[in-house]
């Protein structure tokens, strides 16, 4: 089942679901003819999209609102914070082409602070699936949650067979390493997976964690990894500020623990706009280049 | 509308204004805009909206959204006078033991949604109006906007969208008191011609005197819920209405009066009200 079919089925099964978009139909192109007036396209109007979603949720609906991540979370930020956040309404915000997925669009389209600003809103939860299968495993539970959610839409074809067990606030543990552990989420999961294999081949016992929800966050796995790893790598397509590195730092301070951490994120910069495979090379995010960067870091220990 | 009904509404509006004046001490409130929309709220809750203390949770009720949230003292007062809100709670204005503060919130019975940040509740009302249409319900969704609030881009975005969604159960009202926070609207960002703007956006447009119950009845009774278009009513009002000493005074937007000043204002209101009651009753006859 793909995302569009899931929405169609949910909408037909449960009258609470309303599918909305600010004229971004890439993932939901075939829905209008299938669900009729349960599909609302407000045009290129992110504020109206979010405000209307709040007004629908007030009457018991669960609106699933789509737009590109940057425009949804930033153009309409105050509507999300004020209408959905303060109201604690079960609106689901689905951001398209988040992070590196914006490819060659340029910095206007690079949502690299979306997690930071969404998780800063009281009541708001954040889900960042690793690929299409991971998204589909978790999505029905996420969409049925009584909480508001921001979802980084990710339809990347999977390289890994994910655990079908999903609990909000619990990470998917791919493996636990004695030397290195990589904490990641979203589209870079596939690169992290290959990187972990390369590090293993170099003789480092390497683990990999797919965080899945960044809010609520799996504090247990973070504490465990910080305590047990020689090096914890935090890999994310997000600004260094406010994303998983910040979450790990906050967790470490909260529980008074420390560990050697190597964050790989965008520090005060946007990434080079290009096709995905070329961005990875330019920004040193291919499995081979990531492996080299991590090996250099572990040499310092 | 009978003379008795008009007098009853006037008495209610008088009481609401008394509440507003009393809320403008001990920390103060946005008195000017509250007084300008008082008669509109009194009219809506007593003559137009199907919402009262017995049906305030019924999905079939009419929905009212106060988008220009800073004039909530007028709503608090109206909710008290229509029995939705316990009068004693007004004594808790700005106190930590209650939720009676400068902007509306859903801890107050009768408040459908919080506001305060301008430019939000037109789109929220559209969401609720869409839900009512989906459920094939006949209820009305009314949203009150400020004229200063029309500076917000989100309002024009929503104004553009609502007619395409054919939300003919949606009624927006502009409290056209011709002022925004610090200045007259036309001295800052010119809004006129407003009717033509709304018409070109494909809304049904009406104009009324927002201080005349007879005129509001004339205009609101004509609104059809089956026109295929949303309706917008421009209600001409006076900021600070009822208190000549503060009417249309730019610095009488938010005021924190002393108790002595409050006493004087209540006397002023009483004097002004007697004159109005007398003249308008004569006019009706």
| pLDDT band, residue A283 (cuts 50/70/90) | very high
* Chain B residues touching A53 at Cβ < 8 A: 127
**A54 CA to chain B: closest CA distance, Å?**
6
B168 touches chain A (CB under 8 A): no
| pLDDT band, residue B278 (cuts 50/70/90) | low
Q: Where would I find the beta strands (DSSP E) of B8-67?
A: 63-66
Q: pTM score, two decimals?
A: 0.96
**Residue ranges of B 75-104 with Cβ closer than 8 A to chain A:** none
CB B127 to CB A78 under 8 A? no
The architecture in CATH of the region A3-152 reads: 3-Layer(aba) Sandwich (3.40)
Comparing CB atoms, the residue among A37, A48, A53 nearest residue B158 is A48
Q: What is the pLDDT of residue B273?
A: 77
How far apart, in whole angstroms, are the C-alpha atoms of residue B30 and residue B153?
Answer: 23
Number of domains in chain B: 1
Q: What are the tens digits of pLDDT across the range A16-38?
A: 999 999 999 999 999 999 999 99
Q: What are the tens digits of pLDDT across the range A108-146?
A: 999 999 999 999 999 999 999 999 999 999 999 999 999
How far apart, in whole angstroms, are the C-alpha atoms of residue B13 and residue A298?
Answer: 75
B114 touches chain A (CB under 8 A): yes
In chain A, what are the domain boundaries?
Answer: 3-152, 172-299
| pLDDT band, residue B252 (cuts 50/70/90) | confident
CATH for B187: 3.40.50.970
Task: Answer whether residue B275 shows pLDDT above 90.
Answer: no
Give burial (CB, 10 Å; 0-12/13-18/19+) of B15. Answer: middle
Q: What is the pLDDT of residue B283?
A: 54
How far apart, in whole angstroms, are the C-alpha atoms of residue B245 and residue A210?
Answer: 66
DSSP sequence for B118-184: TT-HHHHHHHHHHHHHHTT----EEEEEESGGGGSHHHHHHHHHHHHTT-TTEEEEEEE-SB-SSSB
Average pLDDT over residues B147-161: 98
Residue of B nearest to A20 (CA): B127
Across chain B, mean pLDDT equals: 95
Q: What is the pLDDT of residue B253?
A: 84
Q: How many residues does chain B have?
A: 285
Task: Answer whether residue B282 shows pLDDT above 70.
Answer: no
Average pLDDT over residues B10-36: 96
Domain span at residue B30 reads: 3-284
Paired sense of beta strands A180-184 and B63-66, if any: unpaired
Average pLDDT over residues B73-80: 98
Q: What is the pLDDT of residue B277?
A: 60
Long-range contacts of A36-41 (CB under 8 A, 24+ apart): A37/B133, A37/B134, A38/A11, A38/B134, A40/B130, A40/B165
- Exposed e or buried b for every residue in B42-74, given b needs 16+ CB within 10 A? bbbbbebbebeeeeeeeeebbbbbbbbbbbbbb
With a CB cutoff of 8 Å and minimum separation 6, the contacts of B228 are B166, B168
CB A51 to CB B123 under 8 A? yes
| pLDDT band, residue B251 (cuts 50/70/90) | confident
**A83 CA to chain B: closest CA distance, Å?**
8
Q: What are the tens digits of pLDDT across the range B103-123?
A: 999 999 999 999 999 999 999
User: CATH number of A172-299: 3.40.50.920, 3.40.50.620, 3.40.640.10, 3.30.70.20?
Assistant: 3.40.50.920
Task: Answer whether residue B285 shows pLDDT above 50.
Answer: no
Q: What are the tens digits of pLDDT across the range B226-240?
A: 899 999 999 999 999
CB pairs under 8 A between A and B: 89
* Chain A residues touching B99 at Cβ < 8 A: none
CB A51 to CB B130 under 8 A? no
Q: How many residues does chain A have?
A: 301
ipTM: 0.96
| pLDDT band, residue B225 (cuts 50/70/90) | confident
Q: Which of helix, strand or coil describes residue A20? A: strand
Q: Which residue has the higher pLDDT, B278 or A90?
A: A90
Q: What is the pLDDT of residue A101?
A: 98
CB B127 to CB A57 under 8 A? yes
Across chain A, mean pLDDT equals: 98
| Highest mean pLDDT, choosing among A151-155, B246-250, B270-274 | A151-155
For A95, list phi and psi in degrees, rounded to 5: -95, 125
């Amino acid at each position: 089942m793909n995302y569009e079919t899931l929405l169609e089925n949910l909408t037909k099964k449960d009258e609470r679901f309303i599918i909305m978009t600010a004229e971004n139909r890439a993932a939901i192109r075939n829905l209008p003819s299938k669900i009729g007036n349960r599909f609302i396209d407000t045009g290129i109007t992110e504020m109206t999209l979010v405000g209307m979603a709040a007004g629908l949720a007030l009457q018991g609906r669960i609106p699933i609102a789509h737009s590109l991540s940057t425009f949804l979370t930033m153009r309409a930020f105050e509507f999300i914070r004020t209408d959905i956040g303060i109201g604690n309404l079960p609106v689901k915000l689905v951001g398209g082409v988040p992070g590196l997925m914006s490819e060659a669009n340029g910095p206007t389209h690079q949502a690299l602070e979306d997690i930071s600003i969404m998780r800063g809103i009281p009541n708001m939860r954040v889900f960042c699936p690793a690929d299409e299968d991971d998204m589909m495993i978790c999505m029905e539970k996420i969409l049925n949650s009584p909480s508001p959610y921001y979802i980084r839409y990710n339809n990347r074809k999977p390289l890994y067979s994910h655990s079908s067990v999903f609990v909000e606030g619990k990470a998917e543990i791919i493996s636990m390493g004695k030397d290195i552990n990589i904490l990641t989420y979203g589209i870079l999961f596939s690169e992290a997976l290959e990187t972990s294999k390369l590090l293993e081949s170099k003789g480092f016992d390497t683990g990999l964690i797919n965080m899945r929800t960044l809010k609520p966050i799996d504090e247990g796995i973070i504490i465990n990894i910080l305590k047990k790893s020689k090096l914890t790598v935090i890999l994310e397509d997000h600004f260094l500020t406010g994303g998983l590195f910040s979450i790990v730092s906050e967790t470490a301070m909260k529980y008074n623990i420390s560990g050697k951490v190597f964050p790989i994120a965008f520090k005060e910069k946007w990434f080079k706009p290009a096709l995905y495979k070329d961005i990875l090379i330019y920004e040193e995010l291919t499995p081979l280049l990531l492996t080299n960067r991590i090996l250099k870091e572990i040499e310092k220990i | 509308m009978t003379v008795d009904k008009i007098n009853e509404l006037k008495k209610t509006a008088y009481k609401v204004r008394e509440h507003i004046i009393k809320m403008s001490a001990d920390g103060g409130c946005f008195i000017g805009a509250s007084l300008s929309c008082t008669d509109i709220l009194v009219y809506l809750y007593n003559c137009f909206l199907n919402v009262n203390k017995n049906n305030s949770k019924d999905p079939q009720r009419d929905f009212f959204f106060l988008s220009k949230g800073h004039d909530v003292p007028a709503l608090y007062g109206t909710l008290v006078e229509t029995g939705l809100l316990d009068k004693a709670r007004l004594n808790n204005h700005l106190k930590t033991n209650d939720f009676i503060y400068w902007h509306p919130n859903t801890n107050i019975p009768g408040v459908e949604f919080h506001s305060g940040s301008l430019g939000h509740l037109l789109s929220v009302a559209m969401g609720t109006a869409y839900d009512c249409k989906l459920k094939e319900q006949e209820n009305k969704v009314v949203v009150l906007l400020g004229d200063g609030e029309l500076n917000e881009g989100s309002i024009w975005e929503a104004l553009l969208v609502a007619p395409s969604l054919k939300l003919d159960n949606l009624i927006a009202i502009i409290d056209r008191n011709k002022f925004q926070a610090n200045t007259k609207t036309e001295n800052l960002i010119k809004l006129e011609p407003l009717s033509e703007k709304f018409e070109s956006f494909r809304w049904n447009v009406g104009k009324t005197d927002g201080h005349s119950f007879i005129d509001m009845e004339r205009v609101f009774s004509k609104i059809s819920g089956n026109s295929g278009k949303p309706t917008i009513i421009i209600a001409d009002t006076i900021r600070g209405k009822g208190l000549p000493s503060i009417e249309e005074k730019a610095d009488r937007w938010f005021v924190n009066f002393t108790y002595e000043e409050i006493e004087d204002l209540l006397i002023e209101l009483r004097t002004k009200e007697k004159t109005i009651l007398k003249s308008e009753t004569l006019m009706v006859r």
